[in-house]
Amino acid sequence: MDIFIHDIAKHIDHEITVKGWVYNARSSGKITFLQIRDGSGFVQGIVHQPDVSAQVWDDAHRATLESSVIVTGKVAKHPKRDEYELHVTGLTLVQISPEYPIGKKEHGPDFLLDQRHLWLRSKKQWAIQRVRNTIINATYEWFNNNGFIKIDSPILTPAACEGTSTLFEVDYFDLGKAYLSQSGQLYIEAAIMSHGRVFDFGPVFRAEKSKTRRHLTEFWMMDAEMAFCDHKLNLEIQEQLIGHIVARAIEMSTEELVILERDIEKLSKAVPPFPRMTHAEAVTKLRAMGSDIPFDDDLGGDDETLLTQDADKPIFIEKYPAKVKAFYMKRDPQNEELALCADMLAPEGFGEIIGGSQREDDYDTLIRRIDENGLPRSAFEWYLDLRKYGSVPHSGFGYGLERLTGWICGVRHIRETIPFPRMITRLTP
């Protein structure tokens, strides 16, 4: 019977067949050990010379690293560990690999990124993509259970959402320039006036020349938007969502987190409520730690790292100076200089994973903000209409999937959390 390795425990003492790849092989005397992976898991195949045909014994020696194979054998529990073994009876070599470029020795990141199409097979990279998948599923699950529907936003757009200096331009027929979306937010703001609560989930693009471990030029963003939702409720929704995602990752991807040597104990502390701190309080704290950051500036990556190094849960930094944030954010009625916004910073120094705010819902104020920011009114006519026909207080937020995956996996550089990273110096493979 053909099975996936993930299900092997159900087949003790039975003969089964797995189809996969050899990720390690070694021989000693009359025994050859073949480590097999099939995408769903890993198993050790034991080939015992006296028990197999001469052909199988020979083939077991010809199976090089990453050769594709079909292996039949009897399942047994490992005498000591909580693992299963396959006592091999049959072996077919589907294709024999020549010497595999990624070996046992240490490789540098550039070499591995050049080999990304192969690197994806290694155990740690396998685990990261599985956790990423769990995060995606948990996100859909939480939204489905909380009255949201998914609305897809366009990727080709006529104007900027998050500032004009970081756009990828495309020639768009006779209509001039189009820009790759930086976030679907503005479009899902339109959709909440039809559906109440919505989210989108897709690739977004930032042409900013940031070479940090937290920046990609193409990454996946989930934007959520809620009608009749103020700043306070916005934060509560975010912490519930993130709490759910972390709990699901621990539950569904335990094996992967163990492979990644993630401190699950630490991760499990991310249970709502998450602490809130204003931007002014954060700056005061940073200055007490020796930073010279001014009160009217944005926080940088290093500031975020400092603020969250000793945190055991994500924290919200609320009410940034409005001038460093996007034009669409509503101002704090108690202090017009501040935006009704918050960034969620992951603990253990992982930095910003969510950006969000209450949105400006007053027509005249929003026109003023568009003008103040030097944005073309004509491109925002439709967006202004949302404040003309049945405007409501509304809020939303967006998470970066790679940053979230990086934190949950304990991987510091987010280039490892997306299958094929796009950075300012990398477009291949």
> Rule CB under 5 A: which residues touch Mg ion?
355
Q: Is 181 in the site for ligand 4AD (CB under 6 A)?
A: no
215 contact, one of Mg ion, ligand 4AD, none, CB 5-8 Å limit per kind: ligand 4AD
Q: Is 139 in the site for ligand 4AD (CB under 6 A)?
A: no
* Shortest separation between residue 184's beta carbon and ligand 4AD, angstroms: 7
Closest C-alpha among 68, 58, 71, 94 to residue 15: 71
In the sheet with 169-171, reading across from the earlier edge strand, the strands are: 156-157, 177-180, 169-171
Which residues 343-362 are close enough to bind ligand 4AD by CB under 6 A? 352-356
Q: Is 318 in the site for ligand 4AD (CB under 6 A)?
A: no
Q: Is 398 in the site for ligand 4AD (CB under 6 A)?
A: yes
221 contact, one of ligand 4AD, Mg ion, none, CB 5-8 Å limit per kind: ligand 4AD
* Shortest separation between residue 131's beta carbon and ligand 4AD, angstroms: 16
Q: Is 400 in the site for ligand 4AD (CB under 6 A)?
A: yes
Q: Is 408 in the site for ligand 4AD (CB under 6 A)?
A: no
Q: Is 329 in the site for ligand 4AD (CB under 6 A)?
A: no
The residue among 243 and 396 lying less far from ligand 4AD, judged by its C-beta, is 396
The residue among 321 and 355 lying less far from ligand 4AD, judged by its C-beta, is 355
The residue among 119 and 407 lying less far from ligand 4AD, judged by its C-beta, is 407
Size of the site for ligand 4AD (CB under 6 A): 23
Stretch that binds ligand 4AD, among 71-79, 211-219, 242-250, 309-317 (CB under 6 A): 211-219
Q: Is 410 in the site for ligand 4AD (CB under 6 A)?
A: no
Report the residue from 130, 206, 279, 394 that binds ligand 4AD according to the rule CB under 6 A.
206
Report the residue from 72, 139, 183, 308 that binds ligand 4AD according to the rule CB under 6 A.
183
Question: In terms of C-beta density within 10 A (0-12 exposed, 13-18 middle, 19 or more buried), how is residue 294 classed?
Answer: exposed
The residue among 134 and 185 lying less far from ligand 4AD, judged by its C-beta, is 185
Stretch that binds ligand 4AD, among 2-10, 78-86, 96-104, 397-405 (CB under 6 A): 397-405
Return the HEC string of the chain: CECCHHHHHHHECCEEEEEEEEEEEEEECCEEEEEEECCCCEEEEEEEHHHCCHHHHHHHHHCCCCCEEEEEEEEEECCCCCCEEEEEEEEEEEECCCCCCCCCCCCCHHHHHHCHHHHCCCHHHHHHHHHHHHHHHHHHHHHHHCCCEECCCCCEECCCCCCHHHCCEEECHHHCEEEECCCCHHHHHHHHHHHCEEEEEEEEECCCCCCCCCCCCEEEEEEEEEECCCHHHHHHHHHHHHHHHHHHHHHHCHHHHHHCCCCHHHHCCCCCCCCEEEHHHHHHHHHHCCCCCCCCCCCCHHHHHHHHCCCCCCEEEECCEHHHCCCCECEECCEEEEECEEEEEECCCCEEEEEEEEECCCHHHHHHHHHHCCCCHHHHHHHHHCCCCCCCCEEEEEEEHHHHHHHHHCCCCHHHCCCCCCECCECCC
Q: Is 406 in the site for ligand 4AD (CB under 6 A)?
A: no
The residue among 94 and 324 lying less far from Mg ion, judged by its C-beta, is 324
* Shortest separation between residue 196's beta carbon and ligand 4AD, angstroms: 16
* Shortest separation between residue 203's beta carbon and ligand 4AD, angstroms: 11
β-strand partners of 156: 180
Q: Is 223 in the site for ligand 4AD (CB under 6 A)?
A: yes
User: Which residue ranges make up the site for ligand 4AD (CB under 6 A)?
Assistant: 161-162, 182-183, 185, 206, 215-216, 219, 221, 223, 352-356, 396-400, 402-403
